[in-house]
Amino acid sequence: MSEAYFKRISEALANAGVHQPTLVIDKAHLDHNLVAVKAITERGFDFRIVAKSLPSVPMLNYLMSSANTKRLMSFHMPFLKHVAENIPSAEILMGKPMPVAAVESFYQSIEKRHGPSALFDPETQLQWLIDSYERAEQYAALAEKLNIKMRISLEIDVGLHRGGFSDKRSFEDALKFIKKDKHLELSGLLGYEAHITKVPSIVGGYKKAFDQAWSTYQSYVDSIVSLYGEAALQDLVLNTAGSTTYPLYTKTGLMNELATASALVKPTDFDVFTLDHHLPAAFIAAPVLKVVKDPELPAAKTLSRLMHRVGLLPRKACFIYGGNWLAEPCYPAGSKRANILGHSSNQEMYELKVSDDLQVDDFMYFRPRQSEAVFLQFGDIALYDNGEIVDWWPVFDQEPLRKPDY
């Protein structure tokens, strides 16, 4: 992105009365990335948006409407509750297994808040994820206790080795248990394969890893067919992919659903070859509080002059409003965190080029490394479009399911 690009955003922020660190979403870039995702999903896949990576109800509503999907994935119990209350039409798949006590707290919270007339119906709109036979037993006991039906998806290990069923025997035992239990219903599989693009060519590269993941997934599907029959697959969610791998799914025939979200805003951790066609859409704008010429080490004026001469200290730097975010500076180009004073969440120091014309009250810009780890830190998100801040998108409420008694 050019200097002119960031100056246009700065002008829009100033016109909107912004004077503090703010997360900005470029709507044109967001739309560009959504078109890229739809180019793959519309080949025959359902599209599930990973809500943790875009933790804002208006943002999710906008993307769900644009992509014509009601499918979300959730990873955090307070977020699940928040989405159920604020997007009650959503169909939610949990992205990781949850402790059974947390699951019980969720049901208690929605019953207390809404009662039996709640718009969101967990029995038909929510799929819990399990990764072991023991967890299947725990969920079944809870479902019996609450006298409810629970839809269950099974997490399988397709090569990432982070979790999920990794042997066929325990997987098939869990299938049999679910099939006979009157409170549990099999709803699908989840096979996450974020490792694929990271596999080095010396051991086969991403193509070999992709083929292995596909083959492993097929073997677990075969186990379902042997127990439930081929027709059962028509009603199951066979989920896979992620932001770095979704473009690899150029053909259908096994998995029927792809999940992604970070690709839509492209933080720096997603600057990978599979997303070269995506544009960065998320930026942190931080006001500059002070610009310093020849910054010095504390109590070391003479040493500082020497270090300036040999290039060990910058000739120009600035202090920003805030800092120490999980983010990388992107404007002015070539700026970097100064090591003189270390990290600061209050007023962090950044090295500048002597030629940079950044002034006090201007904005310095950063790209988040990840979205879910950063988006919640700045309050409402500024939506930038065509030279203006056109809307403000609130982020998720992080209220715990149970508040401690003080």
β-sheet bridge partners, residue 244? none
Residue 320 lies in a domain: no
By mean pLDDT, which of 70-79, 136-145, 213-222, 285-294 is the weakest? Answer: 285-294
pLDDT higher than threshold 50 for residue 178? yes
Q: Give me the domain span that covers residue 79.
A: 27-265
Average pLDDT over residues 188-217: 95
In the chain, the number of structural domains is 1
Q: What is the C-alpha R_g of the chain?
A: 24
pLDDT higher than threshold 90 for residue 262? yes
pLDDT higher than threshold 60 for residue 31? yes
Residue 304 pLDDT grade (very low, low, confident, very high; cuts 50, 70, 90): low
Residue 160 lies in a domain: yes
Find the CATH number of the domain harbouring 148.
3.20.20.10
Q: 50: helix, coil or strand?
A: strand
Residue 113 pLDDT grade (very low, low, confident, very high; cuts 50, 70, 90): low
Residues 62-103: tens digit of each pLDDT: 999 999 999 999 999 999 999 999 999 999 999 999 999 999
Single out the residue of 227, 127, 128, 125 nearest to residue 177, CA to CA.
227
pLDDT at residue number 112 = 66
Residue 347 lies in a domain: no
* DSSP-assigned letters across all residues of 130-145: E-SHHHHHHHHHHHHH
Q: 10 Å Cβ neighbour count for 359?
A: 9
Q: 10 Å Cβ neighbour count for 108?
A: 13
For 287, the token pair is: 């006001």
Average pLDDT over residues 41-45: 95
For 12, the token pair is: 């829009």
Residue 343 pLDDT grade (very low, low, confident, very high; cuts 50, 70, 90): confident
Residue 116 lies in a domain: yes
Q: Which residues contact 29 (CB under 8 A, 6 or more apart)?
A: 266, 279, 280, 281
pLDDT at residue number 330 = 97
Single out the residue of 262, 279, 129, 252 nearest to residue 197, CA to CA.
262
For 335, the token pair is: 């700026």
pLDDT at residue number 84 = 94
β-sheet bridge partners, residue 47? 258
pLDDT higher than threshold 70 for residue 5? yes
In 115-228, which ranges are continuous DSSP H helix? 122-125, 133-146, 168-180, 205-228
pLDDT at residue number 117 = 47
Residue 16 pLDDT grade (very low, low, confident, very high; cuts 50, 70, 90): very high
Residue 387 lies in a domain: no
For 190, the token pair is: 């989840």
Residue 119 pLDDT grade (very low, low, confident, very high; cuts 50, 70, 90): confident
Residue 393 pLDDT grade (very low, low, confident, very high; cuts 50, 70, 90): very high
Q: 166: which DSSP letter?
A: -
Residue 373 lies in a domain: no
Residue 301 pLDDT grade (very low, low, confident, very high; cuts 50, 70, 90): low
